[in-house]
């Protein structure tokens, strides 16, 4: 099964993808996670990508498309995958189409997590992440038991630098300009499922599983 998750930053793509990949036994491929990992390990890709990620800009297609395709051809993606954060502009969507066509992957679902701006700002400014295991918390919606400390591994929580209010504004503008056309692209293909992602996470997952026929 192949699922593409679309939606603005803060829509909950990562949260939903993590639950879905467990339920459906397929891998979660997040280009944002891969880039943050590359930045942390200070690889050549990470060094190049850091300046874009920090500003909330898109990392150039020449870097991201190759990175995504390499990940998609790994063995663990053979049974299916959930793409989170890719494609993020029309050129990435077109290259993904080519990749799907040349690999005979014709059956995929595109889920659009529609989210209001108020929800987006609240979710992103309250988001906190574990430095060690990358578990995601929220100051109000999903607080850790002990403030600033990960429930799972006891490490410190941090705020993603691009979750600061000024960078969020830029990410939203980039989203409108670059990624909103991707939503229209899949909608024209008749591939798009709209889900209202302002609801709490459990309701959203329920709606997605129902659509996929996996709700029993
Ligand atoms: P969010 O969806 O909350 O914005 P992500 O973790 O998906 O967060 O992405 C964080 C950053 O990583 C983006 O702002 C961008 O700089 C970079 N990035 C992630 N995916 C892509 C992509 N497909 N193309 C270009 N840049 C990307
Ligand atoms: Zn942790």
Q: What is the pLDDT of residue 63?
A: 95
DSSP string over 84-142: ES---SHHHHHHHHHHHHHTT----EEEEEE--HHHHHHHHHHEEEETTT--EEETTTB
Percentage of the chain exceeding pLDDT 70: 100
Put simply, whether the predicted model's pTM sits higher than 0.75 gets the answer: yes
State the Cα–Cα distance between residues 109 and 180, nearest whole angstrom: 17
Whether ligand 1 lies within 6 angstroms of the CB of 9 is answered as yes
Plot region of 80 (φ>0 → left; ψ -120 to 50 → alpha; else → beta): left
Q: What is the pLDDT of residues 44-78, one digit of tens each?
A: 999 999 999 999 999 999 999 999 999 999 999 99
| Greatest alpha-carbon span in the chain | 49
Catalytic residue (choose from 13, 71, 123, 128): 13
Annotated catalytic residue: which of 36, 123, 128, 171? Answer: 171
Q: Is the CB of 31 under 6 A from ligand 1?
A: yes
Name the active-site residue from 71, 88, 123, 128.
88
Secondary-structure breakdown of the chain: helix, strand, coil percentages, each rounded to the nearest 5: 50, 15, 30
Residue ID of nearest Cα to ligand 1 atom 14 = 56
- Quick check: is 171 catalytic? yes
Q: Encode pLDDT of 98-128 as tens digits.
A: 999 999 998 999 999 999 999 999 999 999 9
Whether 88 sits among the annotated catalytic residues: the reply is yes
pLDDT in tens, 139-190: 999 999 999 999 999 999 999 999 998 899 999 999 999 999 999 999 999 8
Helix, coil or strand: residue 183: helix
pLDDT on residue 216? 66
Query: What pLDDT sits at residue 148?
Result: 97
Closest C-alpha to 71, from 17, 112, 31: 31
| pLDDT level of residue 28 (50, 70, 90 thresholds) | very high
Residues 90-100 have pLDDT tens digits of: 999 999 999 99
């Amino acid at each position: 099964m192949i699922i593409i998750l679309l939606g603005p930053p803060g829509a909950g793509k990562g949260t939903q993808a993590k639950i879905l990949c467990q339920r459906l036994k397929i891998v979660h491929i997040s280009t944002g996670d891969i880039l943050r990992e590359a930045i942390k390990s200070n690889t050549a890709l990470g060094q190049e990508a850091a300046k874009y990620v920090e500003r909330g800009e898109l990392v150039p297609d020449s870097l991201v498309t190759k990175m995504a395709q390499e990940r998609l051809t790994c063995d663990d993606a053979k049974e299916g995958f959930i793409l989170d954060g890719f494609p993020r502009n029309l050129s990435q969507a077109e290259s993904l189409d080519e990749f799907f066509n040349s690999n005979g992957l014709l059956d995929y679902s595109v889920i659009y997590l529609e989210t209001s701006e108020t929800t987006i700002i609240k979710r992103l400014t309250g988001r906190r992440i574990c430095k060690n295991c990358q578990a995601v918390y929220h100051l109000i919606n999903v607080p850790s038991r002990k403030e600033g400390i990960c429930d799972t591994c006891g490490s410190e929580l941090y705020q993603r630098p691009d979750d600061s209010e000024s960078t969020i504004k830029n990410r939203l503008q980039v989203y409108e300009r670059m990624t909103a056309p991707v939503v229209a692209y899949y909608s024209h293909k008749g591939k798009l499922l709209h889900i209202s992602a302002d609801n709490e996470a459990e309701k959203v997952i329920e709606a997605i599983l129902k659509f996929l026929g996996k709700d029993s």
